[in-house]
Structure formats: C-alpha cells, structure tokens
Chains A and B, each alone.
Chain A
Amino acid sequence: MLLLRDISKVYQGRSPAIALQGINLTLPQGEFLAVVGSSGSGKSTLLNILGLLDRPTTGEYWIDGTRVRGWSDARLARMRNETLGFVYQSFNLIPTLSARENVELPLVYRQVPPKERRHQVDLWLERVRLSDRMHHYPAELSGGQQQRVAVARALVHNPKVLFADEPTANLDGDSTDEIVRVFDEVHASGQTIVLITHDRYFAQAADRVVKLAHGRLVSEAVTRRAN
C-alpha cells in the first residue's frame, strides 16, 4: 500500500536541520501502524510525507503501486482527496461550517452530488454518534465531539489510508476511549491506519509499532494484538 525507500528530509535554513534520514518502511493494506517517539523525533514530518503534504529531500515514495515523483500540487491534492484521510490533535475543524458541513468537505472537493453526499455524511455522523449535533458549529461542541467530527470527515470519502497525528492528546479519558473505539471499528473493517501517538495504551491498539529517534527508525515491534 505505502512504501518508503531511504527517505530523508532536510529543512534548509542558516543551519540545515535533518528531520528524517534513511527511512525504509512498508505499510501493507489493512495494517494499523503506530509511530511513536519523543518530540522532535520526526514523527510529524514522516506523516506529512506519507500524507503527501510535504515532499522528501531524497528517497522514493510509492503509494498504491505508483511512485510519487514530480507530481503537481493539483495531482497531490487530488490524491489526498481520493486516497487519504487526516485526523489531527487540534481537530482542525473549520469554525464557519457546521459539523455536517465539515464532514462533507472531502466530498465537496470531489464534486459528489449533494444527495449522495448527504447520505454518506449522515452515515458517518451516526457512526461517531453525533447525528443529533450535525447542525452545531465547532464552538458549540466539546473537544471529544469535535474530534469525532474530524474522524468522520477523515473517513467519509472512504480513504485507503487514515493518518492520525496525536488524535487523543487533547481529550479526556472518555473521549479518548470513544476515539479508540472508532479506530478499532474501522480497522476491523479493513481500514489502513497510520497513527502517531505518545499514548502507549492507544499504540497497543495497532498491529505494529515503530519508534523514531533523531529522524531515524530505531525499533519496530509487532504488538500482541497482531498476533
């Protein structure tokens, strides 16, 4: 599904900073991968490259059998829209749009007809148990509810890979449990997931855990769950 070969990322500046180096990683379809590591280890940079939000300095990236090289911004945008979904620590909902409108955003950019869009959005708001809050604006929702809206938005267009960057870091215990439950459910239905987390409990929900330190992959472990 995803293949990284000798990927490095260097941020140019007065003193160039190496964010990633020599990353080799394969992610088969349906796998739930957790990426752990301390702050500044390169986790978010790795997610940005995997999610086609940033370009690597060197190395090869293959997605669904196609090498990502020299793609235009428009092609990258289309690929993100058709193939990838994102959940962030700070929810990243658009404050001027209701829960329903936030969830339908990927479908809007895919030009899905309104009727079909409504059906998909209703389905996902029901799955994250927010059908009764669909007309609320983000400011009218709790942190946990906002993150559930963000999860629905990340999955509403049926992406091949779901990327999640510390999705439970800003949530209380109950809300974290709710998000873990949703991730478990979608993974069980075959969803490929890349999760960046500090939360060991959440990481244990993954099939495999890789650890990053100073921009390198330093360890890899298959969880008990995968066994």
Chain B
Amino acid sequence: MRIDDVVRHAVRPLRVYKLRSGLSLMGILIGVAAVITLTTLVRSASLSVSGRVENLGTNLVIVTMNPLVEASNMQDGLTLRQSRSLERLPGFALAAPVDYETTTAGHGETTAPVTVYGSSPRLTSVLQYHLALGRNWTAKDVSTQQRVVVLGSQTSRQLFGERNPIGRRIALNGASYRVVGVLAPKGAFFDINQDAVAIVPITTYQMQSGIHTVESVYLKTASPAANPNEIHRLEDRLNHDLGNANRYTVMTQSEMLTVTHKISTLLTRVLTGVAAISVLVGGIGMLNVLLMSVSERVREIGVRKTVGARRAEILAQFMLESVIVAMIGGMLGAALGIGASVLLTQRLHIALVLNPWIPAAGVVASMGVGALCGIYPAARAATLPPVEALRRP
C-alpha cells in the first residue's frame, strides 16, 4: 500500500465518524490545553512577580509585624519613632513606615473604594509611583499631622472625573483631607489595583485610627543589594526594640525572589503532574474509543485482508488513525491552551510569557500518546484472522 493511500484510508473514517473521532480526541484536547494553560500561567505569574520584585530594587528590605503579635497586643509593635530610627542604622539609606487599610473615599455624593496608606513622603519613591499632578506632601505635613492626601489615578477619576482635584477635599473615614497630588497610572497587578489608593501622612493616619504602632517598615540599603551584615544589624535593633524575634519578619528582595522561584517551581511541578494525569486519562479514553472502533470495524478488517491487506498494512492504518486523532486533539488543545493563557493573563493583569516549545511539545506528546494508545487496538485489528473477521456481524 502506498503511503498516500495509507494516509487517505486512515483519514477517511475520521471524516465519516465525526462524533466518534471528536469524542476520542476530546480527552487529549483538554489535557494538552490544561498543560499549556497551567504551565504558561505559572511561568507568566512567576516572571511578573519576579519582575516587580526586581523593579522595586534589590536593596529593598521589608519588616512586617507578625499578625499574631498585632492581634494579641497591638501596642507592642514598633512605634513611629523606633521605625524612623531604623533609617539611621549603618548601611541603610531610608525607612518608610507603612500602615494601611481598605475603606471608601468620598467627594460630595460620589464614593470610591480605596486602599489608604499612612506613611512618610518617601513611600511614593519606594513603591516607584510618579506624580502626574500637584505635589507630594512633605515631612512638615507629617510632623504637623496635616490632613493632606495624594490620590491614585483611578480614585481621582472616580471622585472628580476629568476635573482637576488639586486643592479639593475628600472624605476618608469621616475626616476631610485636601488633595495635593495625583499619581500617574500604574495599572493592576493580579487582583491588586495599584491606582485605587490614597496616601496620607502616617501621623494623621494614626491619629485617625487611634493605633500608634506601625504594621510594616520599608527600608532601602545604601548598597545596591542588602547584605547579611546589614540584615543582622537590623534584626539586632528590632530584637532590642521589640524584645522578641518572633514578633516580626524581615524579608529581603533576594529572599522574596527565592520564595517566588520556589513556589513557582513547586506549582509548575504539581500542575504539570496534574495536567500529565489529565493527558493520560484522555489517552485512556481514546484507547477505549479506538478499541470500540476496532470492534465495530472487524468486518472491514476482514474485507481488507480478503482483498490482500497484510498485517503491517492494517496495523499502519489503525496506528495512523490513532496518531492523527491525537495530533488533531493536540493541535486544538494547543490553540485552546494558548487562547486560555492569553485570556487569563489579561484578566490577571500579568504579562503573557509563552514558551513556544510548550505547545509544540504538547502536540508531539499527544502524538506519542496516540501512538501508544493505538498500538493495542491496531495490533488486535492486524492479527484478526480474515475468516473470523468476516463472520462477525
């Protein structure tokens, strides 16, 4: 049998028995789509997180009060004075204390959901915000507990539309604040909207909230990357101020990168395993349909053998059918996986990082699964004695 005839005879049943072919490729399609979507999402998310962490600077160190300590004894956290004194530790360039909460901002009848940050003027530069309008409030505003606020671009738009908000007043937690500046848009990151923010002096924030400890402190070292000596000095000071190392967590950017990498590696392995299982299940489904197909076509096999088909030709035809079904399933799965990845990364506001080898590997792997699943049904078809095959109904 010529190669083109083998292909023609293998493809024809797929066209005629569309439902059966569709069912047999469905498992492979879903499996490959799952592999591509999951691996692409994990990779995209991981690289986005790493990129953000790196953008904030490898010299950033974040001290966070542990939640249990805060809940059990709120006054035992760092005071504003203590947090400021961290800036004077050798090797550190700046420290920005940060408290925050989610609330609603209002202007007249208009309201907008907002995350309010209480901090020092340095927070905007630490978090790499840029001013689009007006100015940042000053250290003097902090020391005199002024009710001034810098708004995120979305909050400004929601409260004031296209009007200039500088000099106007908004309500936060029942108090009136004067808008002095508006931040340039930064976009969303995962589900965190970075433009729905209001940054106020931490002294004003603490006066309003009645809590006089800080939840976290963002520090930057003078050197390009935090080194162990600087971290030890910081921890010594925190142990001294708080009396207990369990009350806080110090996280450097390199540690965050390592954690991100570890989580992403673990997630990739787990999800790839899950996806591989779904491909396998798809393969078993395909094997089932192929076996059914061979059973239904026993008479056809008998006829082919009667007119001169050899075992190898029957084997080749059924194997090729199986590989083609799996290949189509793999290709459709790859297309679906790419589409789903594009859609999901857009919804999660992360950059799509698609390794072109993954869809290609998905298609090749599905062809392998097709060949593997096709061996047994094809061998069964090939070894059927013609006289027995012709007796079947």
Binding site for B on A (CB under 8 A): 48, 51, 53-54, 73-74, 77-78, 80-82, 86, 88, 92-97, 105-106, 108-111, 153
Contacts and interface: CB of A to CB of B under 8 A. Distances in A.
Contacts of B311: 73-74, 77
A81 B308 contact: yes
B1 interface: yes
A41 B60 CA distance: 96
Contacts of A82: 308
Contact of A88 (B300, B308, B390): B390
Nearest to B314: A77
A79 to B, nearest CB: 9
A117 B270 CA distance: 55
Nearest to A47: B387
A77 B309 contact: yes
Contacts of A77: 305, 308-311
Interface in B222-242: none
B307 A106 contact: yes
Given A53-B387, A77-B308, 15 more contacts: A48-B387, A51-B306, A73-B310, A73-B311, A77-B309, A78-B308, A78-B310, A80-B308, A81-B307, A96-B12, A96-B16, A96-B300, A97-B12, A109-B308, A109-B309
A74 B310 contact: yes
Contacts of B310: 73-74, 77-78, 109
A221 to B, nearest CB: 29
Given A108-B5, A109-B307, A92 B12 contact: no
Contact of B1 (A73, A74, A111): A111
Contacts of B312: 74
A131 B334 CA distance: 44
Contacts of B299: 92
A109 B313 contact: yes
A42 to B, nearest CB: 14
A92 B387 contact: no
Nearest 5 A-B pairs (CB), nearest first? Answer: A81-B308, A109-B308, A53-B387, A96-B16, A106-B307
Most A CB within 10 A of own CB, among B12, B17, B310: B310
Task: Say whether chain B's binding surface is mostly helix, strand, loop, or mixed.
Answer: helix
Interface residues of B, number: 26
Contact of B2 (A86, A93, A96, A111): A111
B13 interface: yes
B301 to A, nearest CB: 10
Given A73-B310, A96-B16, A109 B303 contact: no
B386 A94 contact: no
B52 interface: no
Nearest to A112: B2
A81 B299 CA distance: 18
A108 B390 contact: no
B12 A53 contact: no
A92 B390 contact: yes
A86 B307 CA distance: 8
A81 B313 CA distance: 13
Interface in B269-327: 299-300, 302-313
A48 B386 CA distance: 10
Interface in B1-49: 1-2, 5, 9, 12-13, 16-17
B386 to A, nearest CB: 5
Contacts of B13: 96
Contacts of B9: 108
A73 B308 CA distance: 10
Contacts of B5: 108
7 contacts: A74-B312, A77-B308, A86-B306, A86-B307, A92-B390, A96-B13, A109-B1
Contacts of A74: 310-312
Most A CB within 10 A of own CB, among B13, B16, B299, B309: B309
Nearest to B16: A96
Contacts of A81: 307-308
B390 A94 contact: no
Most B CB within 10 A of own CB, among A53, A77, A105, A110: A77
A53 B308 CA distance: 10
Contacts of B305: 77, 80
B365 to A, nearest CB: 29
Contacts of A109: 1, 304, 307-310, 313
Contacts of B309: 77, 109
B212 to A, nearest CB: 82
Contact of B303 (A48, A78, A94, A108): A94
Contact of B300 (A94, A106, A153): A94
Contact of B306 (A80, A108, A110, A111): A80
Given A48-B387, A53-B387, A54-B387, A92 B303 contact: yes
Contacts of A93: 303
Nearest to B301: A94
A51 to B, nearest CB: 8
A111 B390 CA distance: 24
A149 to B, nearest CB: 12
A53 B306 contact: yes
A77 to B, nearest CB: 5
Most B CB within 10 A of own CB, among A95, A109, A111: A109
B366 to A, nearest CB: 24
A48 B302 CA distance: 12
Contact of B307 (A54, A73, A80, A96): A80
Contact of A106 (B2, B17, B308, B385): B308
Contacts of B306: 51, 53, 80, 86, 92
Nearest to A94: B300
